[in-house]
Structure 1
């Protein structure tokens, strides 16, 4: 009776955590050797905090694994679908066996279940979550709206998460490690130049800027880049005009702009060349 009660309690916990686990499966918790279980190469979560694993390992050492792992068969062993953190902590705790539920699912289905489990437990960092969303969209042919319904999120949440993948790898690593928050990263997305992005991110981490300060920094950098772009455009236009004048006059021409005013310099090597240039300007001869 006590074992049946324990199994029922475990089933309720798993059912609340992982959608799609039937009552029959919840009653089907089995024990397998820990060495028969391997992590899935497609696991959306890649970062595991050592301190948290040690803490969970201590809890498992004293109370055991309270929630079974979800696995699928793979040859003579099992691949994890959900519960890799518990599996890692159980190894640290010295356990030899673990309670599992075996599900007959495909690799894409296993990935979707793993993603939903991690999202519900808030186990993924922002970059891992974004990469998992992108993978589901690409491999399952889902729209952002369809994906949002599958994982219980707003479409805007999915869209904002995926935008993070536009950031340079160094900044994504800072987000994944917690050195930059999701709010900081979203503010930095206002910049399109990788060089500006890296400099801004370094300044944010060095000076511990708030999200509001990052937004102001981004606006300043965008203003400077727009100013440079206008200056470059004006320089390009002047160069093209100078080239046209040189072809027309057959002489070296320099155009200098000083913010709306400027000068035209025409060079000549002799009085005869000067007479020819003047005639060309006046349309004579």
Structure 2
């Protein structure tokens, strides 16, 4: 069942945004735009210029509906955005010189990244690859587990794991997903293939033949069946060669049966003297 943390809204994570007033840890002030820097942990790589222009026109006409959230920078008198990158950029486009901001007095790097990620996810501003890279940063830079990320963004742990799998795809296939040319569902199917050349071949087929996720699943199932069949043939040849080699060395009939994981070897003897000879060949003593 879908977790509800994300649905509660950013306001539930940052109460001051809902109350629009300062708490003991937050203060609302007006800050010159040139004293504000973008979030170092902004998970979003690209911004839709048309949508930014729309927001800028709205700000020109109606003003800023909600303050951005910032924290003090290491440079005295400057601030870093925690949440509200779009509002900040649109305000600059609107020609504003300053902006209303909630200043959070204590916000470590982990919290800044968490809040920036939640805001982008709520507004559906991140494409699937940006999401995956953000999750990866949370793991590598802040030691988050998949379960912890799931709690932060209000999704199932399996969703986090499957999203991260997209990063195993070749860069050009990741780009197709970022641009919406193929779906994350297609990407998750492709991530199960080890051969990168084959991944790209199937990705081309998805584009050219407009294949559904289900169709891709069938193609991959066929490849796995084919690979298993080839593997079985190779194993049979190897066992046959091994049996012949043992027979030559021992000078008697040998049977090998089983699989690559377990089985048995049968060595035939036809007299007591023959058994003694074979045991000497095996370097055993009776």
TM over 0.5, shorter chain: yes
- Pick the aligned partner of 1:25 from 22, 25, 35: 22
Contact 1:18 1:116 in 2 (8 A): no
Q: Which residue of 2 aligns with 1:179?
A: 181
Greater helix proportion:
1
Q: Which residue of 1 aligns with 2:87?
A: 86
Structure 2's unaligned 5+ residue stretches are 1-7, 250-286
Residue 135 (structure 1) shift: 2.1
**Cα distance change on mapping 1:226 and 1:85 into 2, 3 Å:** farther
Q: Which residue of 1 aligns with 2:222?
A: 220
Contact 1:70 1:82 in 2 (8 A): yes
Q: Which residue of 2 aligns with 1:40?
A: 39
1:203 aligns with 2:205: yes
**Cα distance change on mapping 1:50 and 1:221 into 2, 3 Å:** farther
Which residues in structure 2 correspond to 1:37-186 (within 5 Å)?
A: 37-74=36-73, 75=75, 76-104=77-105, 105-186=107-188
Q: Secondary structure at the match of 1:32?
A: strand
Higher relative contact order (CA 8 A, sep 6+): 2
Q: Distance in 2 between matches of 1:128 and 1:18?
A: 24
Q: Secondary structure at the match of 2:13?
A: coil
Q: Which residue of 2 aligns with 1:10?
A: none
**Cα distance change on mapping 1:241 and 1:49 into 2, 3 Å:** farther
**Cα distance change on mapping 1:190 and 1:36 into 2, 3 Å:** same
Deviation string 1:84-127 (CA, Å, 9 cap, x unpaired) is 12222222222222111111211222111111222222222112
Residue 155 (structure 1) shift: 1.6
Q: Distance in 2 between matches of 1:86 and 1:108?
A: 22
Q: Secondary structure at the match of 1:28?
A: strand
TM-score with structure 2 setting the length: 0.70
- Bigger Cα displacement from structure 2, 152-161 vs 136-145: 136-145
Q: Distance in 1 between matches of 2:154 and 2:9?
A: 16
RMSD over equivalenced CA pairs, Å: 2.9
Q: Secondary structure at the match of 2:45?
A: coil
Q: Distance in 2 between matches of 1:182 and 1:71?
A: 33
Q: Distance in 2 between matches of 1:140 and 1:226?
A: 40
Q: Which residue of 1 aligns with 2:275?
A: none
Structure 1's unaligned 5+ residue stretches are 1-13, 249-285
* Matched positions, count: 234
